[in-house]
């Protein structure tokens, strides 16, 4: 599993914001979203787009998202995202890496050196 492989995430893993705050725990994972539950009595469910996945740490049963606690609190996350599915091993921010790729913006396979 690569560092950001959404397919290895399991229910119950903790979810941390980019600023280190606890957001909740994983309820469900699909290729398009991560459903996160927070709270014990008054539970809240949030559907985060798969693209916000920052890191996966199986040894700690934890994932990180690229949003701050403030961004999580201020936005509406009650609807299932309509973004296209994320693929295993794909860069999280494709636009950010496209300029560095000598193959005119094609996304490099993280397992192969560029040019192969």
Q: pLDDT at position 93, please?
A: 42
Averaged over 54-70, what is the pLDDT? 96
Residue written as token pair 């199986």: 58
CA pair distance 107, 50, nearest whole angstrom: 18
Domains of the chain and CATH, by start: 6-98 (2.30.30.240)
How would residue 40 be classed by pLDDT, with cut points 50, 70 and 90? confident
Over residues 67-91, the pLDDT tens digits come to 999 999 999 999 998 876 655 554 4
Q: What three-state secondary structure class fits 27? A: strand
Mean pLDDT of the chain: 79
Contact 39, 27 (CB under 8 A): no
Residue written as token pair 């949030």: 46
Write down the pTM of the prediction: 0.69
């Amino acid at each position: 599993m690569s560092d950001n492989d959404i397919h290895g995430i399991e229910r119950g893993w903790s979810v941390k914001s980019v600023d280190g705050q606890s957001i909740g725990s994983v309820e469900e994972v699909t290729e398009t979203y991560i459903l996160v539950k927070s709270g014990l009595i008054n539970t809240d469910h949030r559907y985060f787009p798969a693209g916000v996945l920052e890191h996966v740490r199986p040894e700690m049963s934890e994932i990180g998202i690229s949003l701050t606690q403030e961004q999580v609190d201020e936005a509406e996350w009650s609807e299932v995202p309509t973004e296209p599915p994320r693929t295993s091993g794909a860069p999280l921010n494709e636009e950010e890496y496209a300029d560095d790729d000598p193959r005119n913006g094609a996304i490099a396979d993280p397992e192969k050196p560029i040019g192969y």
